[in-house]
Amino acid sequence: MLIFRSVRAAELCDGGADGPRGCPDANDVRCGKCGLARTVDDTNAPGACPQCGGWQFTVSRCAHCKLDDLDYARTHSNAGRLFERLLELEFDAAHFSIPWSDVTAEEVRGLQILKEERNRYQREQMQKQPHAFPCPS
């Protein structure tokens, strides 16, 4: 379930692929210079930071964002730790040589499930898109 939700993380946030920036309920920003968190009327134009005058900011997730639950599960559960290990292995296998003796059977199966879920998600996305037909000439 953790892999399923992680692959579809953009669907868990009301902001979709834009994340907190696109969420209608997100109204907090964090200054990129000094870290001050504050509530603003418009997260697209929060203005300068009242503490340091900086203009860099990050929009924070809304109070009910389901991504917080996903992040919590990823950092506080055995399944989450395994998932993080799978992501590390996936990166290492793509960019470096790793001996298979360093990979457990559970991790191999997890990598298979991760690949299957990503493929399933891609197929779902392709089915959601309207079919393009060539224009008659």
Q: Kindly report, residue by residue over 114-135, the tens digit of the pLDDT.
A: 999 999 999 998 888 866 555 5
- C-alpha to C-alpha distance for 75 and 70, rounded to whole angstroms: 9
Write the CA distances from 135 to 73, 120, 127, 129, 132, integer angstroms. 48, 30, 21, 17, 9
Q: Alpha helix locations (H) across the chain?
A: 2-7, 9-12, 66-76, 78-95, 105-128
Which range has the worst mean pLDDT, 6-10, 60-64, 76-80, 82-86?
Answer: 6-10
Stretch 41-68: mean pLDDT, rounded? 93
Query: 49, 60, 48: which is closest to 23 by C-alpha?
Result: 60
Which range has the worst mean pLDDT, 14-18, 66-70, 79-83, 88-92?
Answer: 14-18
The predicted structure's pLDDT at residue 100: 85
The CB density around residue 97, as the number of other CB atoms within 10 Å, is: 6
* Strand 57-59 to 37-39 pairing: unpaired
